Structure 1
Amino acid sequence: MVRIIAILVGAAFTFVLALALWGTVSTAITDPAPETAEHEFHLHPRDAGLSSAGFFGKYDRRQVQRGFQVFKEVCAACHSLKYVSFRDLEEIGYSEAEVKAIANQWVIETPSVNPDTGEAATRKNVASDRFPSPFANEVAARAANNNALPPDLSLIAKARHDGANYVFSLVGKDGYRPQPAELLKKFPETKTPDGLHYNPYFANLNIAMPPPLTTDGQVTYTDGTVATHDQMAKDVAAFLTWTAEPKLEARHAAGFASVVFILIFCFLAWGAYQNVWRDVKH
């Protein structure tokens, strides 16, 4: 009796589930969702071709350092790196002395308190400090950016789908462009409002951030690399990939070692099985 009841309950559940699925499918066929400008004109990010991509990916230290230079000279005016410390830069090839110099010379100083008066003050950064925000608080950040809040870039490469390629495409030479005439003709209501900028790689096509990279040679690389628009975009994408995944190389190495271990273990287990049961006749 119990088995019959269980079968009936299971059959009823299956029927209700199938009915709901059929309703969803039939609605999608008879009343499809309307086309949107974002769905039709949003572009998939271009491939940045970073050396860190792929199962065996590793960081190109020189490229990451160039990306840091782009961040320092272009992005740091509006964006923070609140999860990254100055001393972390040693992992991408800077010496301890260079890190101390970078921290000491950083344009934004670390908030502090005057020990004599108790009033708010600032002090020079040290290697153990995290990169200070260019704004005192969110209100100040919005006031300086037409009420838009510049996101922290520490984890941006992980917070966005296909993050490294997204950053590269967004600020690269093909990112900011005039709105296509076809878009305005088909979706006139999506005309880019004043104060925003059309970018097909951004989620809703219109972004508050002005083009950060505008011309070739905007940054003069210390290693002599020619700073084309796409080169700078690729380098800053490499740097922000590192800030989001500083242990990427260790993770890749651990994954490779784990796969090798599992293969060896499976081979040994198969050999043991053959040895133990070799005299058993089926």
Structure 2
Amino acid sequence: MSGLAAMSAGKKAALTALGMCTGVGGAVAYKLDQEVKADLTLHAPHLPWSHNGWFNSLDHASIRRGYSVYKQVCAACHSMRFLAFRNLVGVSHTEEEAKEIAEEFQVMDGPNEAGEMFERPGKLSDYFPKPFANDAAAAAANNGAIPPDLSFITLARHGGEDYIYHLLNGYCDPPAGIDLREGQHFNPYFPGGAIGMGPPIYNEIVEYDDGTPATQSQVAKDVCTFLTWAGSPEHDIRKRFAVKCMMIYSVLIAGSYYMKRHKWSVIKSRKLVYTPRTA
């Protein structure tokens, strides 16, 4: 006879009660630990972006303004090495405008016939220039912190554009008891709260060519829209194909249902009779 079967009913009840108390006690302790744990990181609330709907496209005027913000503000520290000037054509700028933007930069090319490297004006096929030659130079210029590449930043961060927007607008004074090192700033949306990047935007930091007031919230919204497009340049194409597929499927579903009823009607109406064999 096993040990459990040999136990009296009283011992079994006592062990059961002990197990239940242990489980409940552990759950209560875990809940209390979560309740009193101090966390300086805020979760970015969801915002009603105009491109979040199933059939909504990106705001291309906002993408154009967002590129202006990136070029004049963000490009001083952050690279976008996976984006080329040709990607702007037909999205935020015309081909001529994109060529003019590319020609503003000097790009290292070569070697020439003499075997030497040389600089030339940028072309549409060139990628956005990097602000620093390498990570070591970037860290030396930013108190040891390497500014992340922004090509896919909305896909690489939890919360996407919501996180970026609240991060740009979330700078504030640190709460009592929080000491920041030199060169650090407090932002509750950044993990840990201490961020090496100072407040990058403010009212009228840029001047939009379409006359849109460049308030801080508008600037943040535009650069987030631009970064959303940069991370998913196929955004509008994907939704357009989805609409076309739904239209095609809506036409085919009626014929598919008819064929299903036609093919299965004979099989489903059959009556199978089992006749046992006799000896």
**TM class, shorter-chain normalised?**
0.7 to 0.9
Deviation at 1:239, TM superposition (A): 0.3
Change (3 A) 1:44 1:54: farther
Amino acid at match of 2:99: K
Alignment of 1:124-135 (within 5 A): 124-135=121-132
In the alignment, structure 1 residue 141 sits paired with structure 2 residue 138: yes
Deviation at 1:203, TM superposition (A): 1.8
1:210 corresponds to which of 198, 202, 206 = 198
Change (3 A) 1:177 1:131: same
- Residues of 1 paired with 2:216 and 2:87: CA distance? 27
Secondary structure at the counterpart of residue 119 of structure 2: strand
Alignment of 1:116-195 (within 5 A): 118=115, 121-172=118-169, 175-181=170-176, 184=177, 190-195=178-183
Instruction: Provide the aligned C-alpha RMSD in A.
Output: 2.7
Asked if structure 2 preserves the Cα contact closer than 8 Å seen for 1:46 and 1:168, the reply is: no
Asked if structure 2 preserves the Cα contact closer than 8 Å seen for 1:196 and 1:206, the reply is: yes
Match of 1:251 in 2: 238
Match of 1:81 in 2: 80
Mind listing any 5+ residue stretches in structure 1 that lack a counterpart?
A: 1-21, 185-189
Tell me the TM-score normalized by structure 1. 0.77
- Residues of 2 paired with 1:113 and 1:83: CA distance? 21
Change (3 A) 1:269 1:53: same
Amino acid at match of 1:80: S
Deviation at 1:37, TM superposition (A): 3.7
- Residues of 2 paired with 1:48 and 1:228: CA distance? 18
- Residues of 1 paired with 2:25 and 2:116: CA distance? 64
Match of 1:6 in 2: none
Match of 1:68 in 2: 67
Secondary structure at the counterpart of residue 123 of structure 1: strand
- Residues of 1 paired with 2:64 and 2:181: CA distance? 36
Mind listing any 5+ residue stretches in structure 2 that lack a counterpart?
A: 1-19, 272-279
Match of 2:89 in 1: 90
Q: Return the index of the structure with the highest Cα Rg.
A: 2
Deviation at 1:54, TM superposition (A): 2.4
Instruction: Describe the superposition over 1:45-88 as per-residue Cα deviations: whole angstroms up to 9, x where unpaired.
Output: 24443322122220111111000000011000001110000011
Match of 2:206 in 1: 219
Asked if structure 1 preserves the Cα contact closer than 8 Å seen for 2:76 and 2:131, the reply is: yes
Instruction: Describe the superposition over 1:206-265 as per-residue Cα deviations: whole angstroms up to 9, x where unpaired.
Output: 11111111x311111100000000000000000000100011011112233334444444
Match of 1:102 in 2: 101
Amino acid at match of 1:210: G
- Residues of 1 paired with 2:246 and 2:144: CA distance? 49
Match of 1:3 in 2: none
Alignment of 1:232-251 (within 5 A): 232-251=219-238
Asked if structure 2 preserves the Cα contact closer than 8 Å seen for 1:48 and 1:234, the reply is: no
Amino acid at match of 1:202: F
Match of 1:12 in 2: none
- Residues of 1 paired with 2:38 and 2:115: CA distance? 54
Secondary structure at the counterpart of residue 81 of structure 1: coil
Tell me the TM-score normalized by structure 2. 0.78
How many positions carry a matched residue from both structures?
A: 245
